[in-house]
Amino acid sequence: MALLRNKTGIGMTSLRTRERMITRLREQGIKDEVVLHVMGEIPRHIFVDEALSIRAYEDVSLPIGFGQTISQPYTVARMTELLRHGGPLGKVLEIGTGCGYQTAVLSRVADEVLSVERIRPLVMKARGHLRTLKCVNVKLDHADGSEGLAEFAPFDGIIVTAAASHVPQDLLAQLAVGGRMVIPIGTSAQILTLIENTGKEFRQTKLEAVKFVPLLGGVSA
């Protein structure tokens, strides 16, 4: 696609650099080839300021303004892999759009993505990025993510890209039977947690230490 070829650039933003990122993700234990393929396709450097584009494919989080960050590639791949669980996704809710990178990845592996961001300028920035990549199956809302989007529930998958002190009950209520939620839990020490709705219980599995900005309520202009 010509649009993406124009965005690939040279050096640190080249396709070869993306391929090195995918090799590193495999070495780090990411096994879902669908996720790896998608992350190899999406140009991460367009989601960060031009001054930081040289670091876009390093395995680091980067600032995107307003005290927020774009998650490191491994974290994006890991959370997406957990959500997919080796199969297709229907309707997915993302809490914390940020710059839209995780959203773009989800748009390639799910039928429909609804994403909520509390900071209005980030919503506008993400819309621009997703429009550039022609992510037509995404709906962005400027709203309090801790409340979810009950009017569109239930969701087959829920992904939370900010750390909550506890599992938000509103989000549990919006998870479909058989659905999965991936969420970092904790304050100073955060653990990536998988929650599965079995229909009888919400089964929790604690996975690995992570570092996210905190999940905040309310909205910000």
Q: What is the mean pLDDT of the chain?
A: 92
Task: State the pTM of this model.
Answer: 0.92
3-state SS assignment for residue 2: helix
Catalytic residue ranges: 71
Contact 166, 160 (CB under 8 A): no
Q: What pLDDT score was predicted for residue 11?
A: 44
202 and 132 Cβ atoms separated by less than 8 Å = no
Which of 20-24, 75-79, 143-147, 182-186 shows the lowest mean pLDDT across its residues? 143-147
Q: What is the phi/psi pair of residue 52, to 5°?
A: -100, 0
Which fold would CATH assign to domain 2-210? Rossmann fold (3.40.50)
Query: 106 is written with which tokens?
Result: 């989800």
Backbone angles phi, psi at 120, to 5 degrees: -55, -45
Residue 9 has pLDDT above 90, yes or no: no
**pLDDT at 2 (0 to 100):** 32
50-75 mean pLDDT: 94
Can the peptide bond before residue 88 be classed as cis, meaning omega within 30 degrees of 0? no
